[in-house]
Chain A
Amino acid sequence: MPAILELHGVEKIYGSGPAALRVLSDVNLTVEQGEYVAVVGPSGSGKSTLLNIFGCLDVPSSGRYLVEGKDTATLDDTQLSHLRNRRIGFVFQSFHLVSHLTVLENVELPLFYARRPRAERRRRALELIEAVGLSGRAGHRPAQLSGGERQRTAIARALANEPALLLADEPTGNLDSVTSREIMALIGRLHRDGATVVLITHDPEIARLAPRRVALRDGRVESDSGRTAAVEAGA
């Protein structure tokens, strides 16, 4: 079974010529099925860019990025869309819910783009909403929810198509400490249930919850606690 994701000598450069900005240089990383990885680093270390590449929202300037053994450079825009839809779930710092849709409809969106029948979409979305503890909130708009509830909605939405990989970009960045703990507990529970999680954070407290930690500095991998840590944590 191939690794969930593999980076081989990935570089990312914005712009060109003397003004070019090198954000990532020679990043090599492999994440296996069932891992829980925290990517940490100060702002400007390139961790957001890395996450965008993980999520196929951005492409490396050079090097190779493989998702489940498939080289993303060989995929066109539509295939990348399908990959995002079926294999990757996103949780963002600023939630990124569609403001005029209800909780239920937001959770249904990935199912809609997966062309699932209407009845099945509804059933699955309600299941997920219940799983993240938002039963009774299904008909609310994002503006009527607290920050924690919004992030739960986003998590439910990320899980809709049972993705191979859950990507979380500072999921607690806009939440208070109590809510943060709840959200992190939810992510931890998902991991124990078998999800592969890659979490980006600048907060060492949050990072400590992950069995494996990858530290970035100036676009390079500074340290990687390694897979063994994950195995130990799992044991």
Chain B
Amino acid sequence: MIELIREALRNLRRHKLRTFLTALGIIFGVASVMSMVSTGEGARRAILQQIGELGIRNIIINAHRPPEESNVQQQQGQSWTIEYGLTFHDADQIRETLPAVLEVLPVHDVDKWIWFKSRRLEAKVRGVTPEYFERLSYRPMLGRTLTADDGLHRRRTCVVRARLLRDAQYLGDPLELDLKVGSEYFRVVGVLPDTEFQSPNRAALGIDDRTLEVYVPFDTVIDRFGLENRKFRSGSFESSKVELHQLLCVIDDENHVETSARGIQTILSSFHKKKDYEVTVPLELLESRRKTQRVFDIVLPIVAGISLLVGGIGVLNIMLASITERTREIGIRRALGATGLDITWQFLVETVTLTSLGGLLGVALGVGGTQVLQRLTDWKAVITPWSLALSLGVSMLTGIAFGLYPARKAAAMEPIAALRHE
């Protein structure tokens, strides 16, 4: 067998260009399949991870600033106050009406600049309760998350993402860092890792970029900054009043998520005249994603099949030409005692060697192409071992499928006719 492969390699080397061109069909087929599979797999994992991070038993309600024209605006001298968003009343209603809802965690954001020394940092300050971290599976890589005591004593503590430390170009002990939010100083007590996956799908899914968040105790925020937010913007002070920016509802069971989501929609729509909120159900996102994935799982093998079919036909064509060209050699081999089976094997091994080489190069090109694609875009590609094995396996199978006919044809030649062939 090894000798047959060696012989096959030699025959292929005799016509380098022809071999290369023939293998090209297989190379491109395998390469495109490889890169499709790995970018697809990367995207799938990123989305599943992001959705998983939101928690499949959670329902997230975000406050929305309603469109400008429908604003209820109260003119007070030179400034505006816009009132919108979720309220404590909403939270109570949901908690009391829906038995499947275990907890409703309030979140209040502070629209203030955040400073480290004289450097202004790009971040969003969220007042959250201690349970928030656990429900969203946020685990600190350093220090701790916020505790009930932080809220009870109105402590000015905060938990940051690792990215913030980099942005601040702070090199000391993170747990000795003080950040200035508005006019108040907050001590960092814990650092969370950056969210691992970032993809263009994040925005499409309505998931916030949580790498730019700073978490402070909910009670401290309400105490220190109140509910109103004032900001100097385009020549005038703009003031907005939002009680709660987010509600995180935790449902007791996965099977109750759907009904609870409908219940929440009903409650909110009866208390809000305008649609100034949005309900995100991670479980639904997950399911719709799974459906998309299923389409992908069907389309991909078809595309792969077609490209390998095209490559395989090229191989078939060249092998048929090759046996015609080598008819006399086949005759000589038969005269010297090669059986039909010997001839079949010789050409089959040659074809499979050709397609396997194509497969190998295709995998290499696919892996390389994926890396380039990853460099150029911010897609995350994941090359799974099974996709490597599958690509090689399929290219070998292509060799067998399209090599069998020419090999059998070569074996079926009459020895004497083959020998006389000029």
State whether A77 touches B11 (Cβ < 8 A): no
Q: How many A-B residue pairs have CB under 8 A?
A: 60
**Closest approach, in angstroms, between the C-beta of A19 and any C-beta of chain B?**
19
- Interface residues of A: mostly helix, strand, loop or mixed? helix
Binary per-residue interface labels of chain A (105-126) against chain B in the complex, 1 for a CB within 8 Å, 0 otherwise? 0000110111000100000000
Closest B residue by C-beta to A112:
B3
Nearest Cβ on chain B to A73's Cβ, whole angstroms: 16
Set B3, B11, B419: member contacting A118, Cβ < 8 A: B3
Q: Cα distance A157–B416 when bound, in Å?
A: 19
- Contact with B342, one of A57, A100, A113 (Cβ below 8 angstroms): A113
Count of B residues near A, CB < 8 Å? Answer: 21
Chain B residues closer than 8 Å to A113, beta-carbon distance:
333, 336-339, 342
Q: Could you say which of B3, B335, B339 contacts A78, with CB atoms under 8 Å apart?
A: B339
User: Chain A residues near B10 (CB, 8 Å)?
Assistant: 100
Report the Cα distance A96→B416, complex, angstroms. 12
Query: In terms of DSSP, what is the predominant structure of the interface of chain B?
Result: helix
Tell me the complex Cα distance, A82–B339, Å. Answer: 7
Determine if A109 and B333 form an interchain contact, defined as CB atoms under 8 angstroms apart.
Answer: yes
Min CB distance A198 to B, Å, is 15
Cα–Cα, bound, A112→B337 (Å):
9
Are A57 and B416 also in contact (CB < 8 A) when A96-B332, A98-B329, A113-B342 are? Answer: yes
State which of A20-28, A34-42, A83-91, A175-183 sits at the interface with chain B.
A83-91
B127 located at the interface, meaning its Cβ lies under 8 Å from any Cβ of chain A in the complex: no
Residues of chain A contacted by B334 (CB below 8 angstroms):
57, 81, 84
Which of A84, A99, A118 makes the CB contact (< 8 A) with B337? A84
CB 8 Å contact bits of B335-357 with A (1 = contact, 0 = none): 11111111000000000000000
In the assembled complex, the Cα of A39 lies from the Cα of B335 at a distance in Å of 20
> Number of residues in A with C-beta < 8 Å to the partner?
25
CA distance A86 to B338 in the complex (A): 11
- Which residues of the partner chain B approach A84 to less than 8 Å between Cβ atoms? 334-337
Query: In the complex, are the beta carbons of A90 and B339 less than 8 A apart?
Result: no
Interface residue A55 (Cβ < 8 Å from any Cβ of B): yes
Smallest Cβ distance from B347 to chain A, in angstroms? 15
- Given A58-B416, A98-B329, A157 and B335 contact (CB-CB distance below 8 Å): no
Chain B, range 75-111, C-beta contacts under 8 Å to A:
none
In the complex, what residues of B have CB within 8 A of residue A86's CB? 337
Residue of B nearest to A49 (CB): B416
Residues of B within 8 A of A61 (CB): none
Question: A57-B419, A58-B416, A118-B3 given as contacts; is B336 within 8 A of A110 (CB)?
Answer: yes
Nearest CB to that of B14 among chain A residues? A100
Contact digits for A49-82, partner B, Cβ 8 Å, 1 yes 0 no: 0001001011000000000000000000110011
**Interface residues of A, Cβ cutoff 8 Å to B:** 52, 55, 57-58, 77-78, 81-82, 84-86, 90, 96-100, 109-110, 112-114, 118, 157, 161
The 9 closest A-B pairs by CB, nearest first: A85-B337, A81-B339, A57-B416, A113-B337, A110-B336, A84-B337, A78-B339, A96-B332, A113-B338
Q: 12 A-B contacts, Cβ less than 8 Å apart?
A: A52-B416, A57-B335, A77-B340, A78-B341, A81-B342, A85-B336, A85-B337, A97-B332, A112-B3, A113-B337, A113-B342, A157-B336
